[in-house]
Amino acid sequence: MTVPAIWEVEYTPKVTMKGGQVVYLTPRGNVFIVSFGELNELAKQFGTLDEYGRSATARLPITGYTSGKLSISSELQICGHRAILSNFQGNSRTGEFADIWIADLWCKEANRHFSIYGELGQRGEFSYFPRVFRTMAESLICHGPQVESPRPGWQLADVGFSPRSRLWFVQLFDQSGLTETYQSREIMLRGGTGVQYQWPQMGPRPMWHVRERIFPRDVDKISYDEQGTLVVEQAIDARAKENIPDSFDSITYAYSLSTARGFVEFRDRENKVTKRIDDRWIAVENLTHNTVGTFPDIRLKAKREDIGSIVITNTCVVIQGRMTTDRPDDSTRSMSQ
If asked whether residues 195 and 265 sit together in one domain, one would say no
If asked whether residues 161 and 228 sit together in one domain, one would say yes
Is residue 192's pLDDT more than 80?
no
pLDDT tens-place string over residues 121-161: 766 777 778 878 888 888 888 876 555 555 667 888 999 99
Query: Is the Cβ–Cβ distance between 24 and 2 less than 8 Å?
Result: no
pLDDT tens-place string over residues 281-297: 899 999 999 999 988 88
If asked whether residues 13 and 134 sit together in one domain, one would say yes
CATH number at residue 126: 3.40.1000.10
Angle ∠(250,253,258) on CA atoms, nearest 5: 160
pLDDT tens-place string over residues 10-25: 888 888 888 889 999 8
> Would 240 be classed as within a structural domain?
no
If asked whether residues 204 and 273 sit together in one domain, one would say no
If asked whether residues 202 and 276 sit together in one domain, one would say no
Better pLDDT: 3 or 281: 281
> Would 147 be classed as within a structural domain?
no
Give the confidence band of 38 by pLDDT, cuts at 50, 70, 90. Answer: very high
> Would 317 be classed as within a structural domain?
yes
Number of structural domains in the chain: 3
Read off φ and ψ for residue 59, nearest 5 degrees: -115, 25
Q: How far apart are CA 266 and CA 337, in angstroms?
A: 20
State the DSSP H helix or E strand holding residue 137, giving kind and residue range, or none if neither. Answer: helix 129-138
Query: Is the Cβ–Cβ distance between 222 and 230 less than 8 Å?
Result: yes
Percent share of the chain, pLDDT over 70 = 86
pLDDT at 97 (0 to 100): 75
Query: Is the Cβ–Cβ distance between 298 and 292 less than 8 Å?
Result: yes
If asked whether residues 89 and 18 sit together in one domain, one would say yes
If asked whether residues 161 and 127 sit together in one domain, one would say no
pLDDT at 302 (0 to 100): 96
> Would 259 be classed as within a structural domain?
yes
Instruction: Report cis status (omega within 30 of 0) of the bond before 13.
Output: no
Is residue 237's pLDDT more than 60?
no
Q: What is the mean pLDDT of the chain?
A: 83
Alpha-carbon 3 to chain mean position: 11
Is residue 73's pLDDT more than 90?
no
Q: How far apart are CA 234 and CA 289, in angstroms?
A: 36
If asked whether residues 127 and 166 sit together in one domain, one would say no
> Would 337 be classed as within a structural domain?
no
CA dist list (Å): 164 to 4, 168, 323? 12, 11, 44
State the DSSP H helix or E strand holding residue 52, giving kind and residue range, or none if neither. Answer: helix 49-53
> Of 138, 165, 181, which residue constitutes the final position of a domain?
138
If asked whether residues 49 and 24 sit together in one domain, one would say yes
> Would 207 be classed as within a structural domain?
yes
Rounded (10°) CA dihedral 18, 132, 72, 95: 100
Which one, of 272, 269, 283, lies nearest residue 312 by Cα?
Answer: 283
Better pLDDT: 276 or 257: 276
What value does the mean pLDDT take over residues 314-331? 72
How many CA atoms does the CB half-sphere of 282 hold within 13 Å? 20
If asked whether residues 162 and 93 sit together in one domain, one would say no
Q: How far apart are CA 191 and CA 236, in angstroms?
A: 7
Q: By residue range, what is the domain housing residue 300?
A: 250-321
Is residue 334's pLDDT more than 50?
no
Is residue 260's pLDDT more than 90?
no
If asked whether residues 13 and 124 sit together in one domain, one would say yes
Q: Print burial letters for 103-136: b (CB count within 10 Å at least 16), e (below 16).
A: bbbbbeebebbbbbbbbbbeeeebeebbebbbbb
If DSSP codes are grouped into helix, strand and coil, which group holds residue 54?
Answer: coil
pLDDT at 335 (0 to 100): 39
If asked whether residues 228 and 254 sit together in one domain, one would say no
User: Which range among 122-136, 163-177, 248-262 has the greatest average pLDDT?
Assistant: 248-262
pLDDT tens-place string over residues 201-211: 777 777 888 89
Better pLDDT: 77 or 270: 270
What value does the mean pLDDT take over residues 311-320? 90
Percent share of the chain, pLDDT over 90 = 30
pLDDT at 337 (0 to 100): 39
Q: How far apart are CA 280 and CA 254, in angstroms?
A: 10
